[in-house]
Amino acid sequence: MSNEATSLQFSIVIPVYNEAENIEPMVREIQAAFDGRPEAYEVIFVDDASSDDSPAVLQRLTFGPMRPMCWPGAISRPAAPGWG
């Protein structure tokens, strides 16, 4: 799977707020959906100043197509895709 912008075909932007227990299952579902497919993709998680362990979970998932973005202050769910 290439991370080059020229070959990237899908960008999935996911806003996160206090979703620590849901992040890893979501990643597994996304990976299963793309498993065996030729399209290159990235997953951008935009954490909106979560007060739970979401930022720590996201930092553990920094590999391949996964890219966390953690904001120090709240930006709101509708604004998250614009930041991704």
Judge whether residue 5 has pLDDT over 70. no
Question: What's the rounded Cα separation, in Å, for the pair 14 and 56?
Answer: 16
pLDDT of residue 79: 55
Can you give the residue range of the structural domain that contains 33?
A: 8-73
Residue 80: inside a domain: no
Judge whether residue 74 has pLDDT over 90. no
Residue 3: inside a domain: no
Give the DSSP H/E element, type plus range, for residue 25: helix 20-34
pLDDT of residue 20: 96
pLDDT of residue 1: 43
Question: Cβ contacts of residue 60 below 8 Å, gap of 6+?
Answer: none
Do 74 and 49 contact (CB within 8 A), yes or no?
yes
Which amino acid, one-letter code, is at 21? Answer: E
Structural domain count of the chain: 1
Give the model confidence (pLDDT) of 6-51 as tens digits. Answer: 588 998 888 999 999 999 999 889 989 999 999 998 888 888 889 9
Q: What is the pTM of this model?
A: 0.70
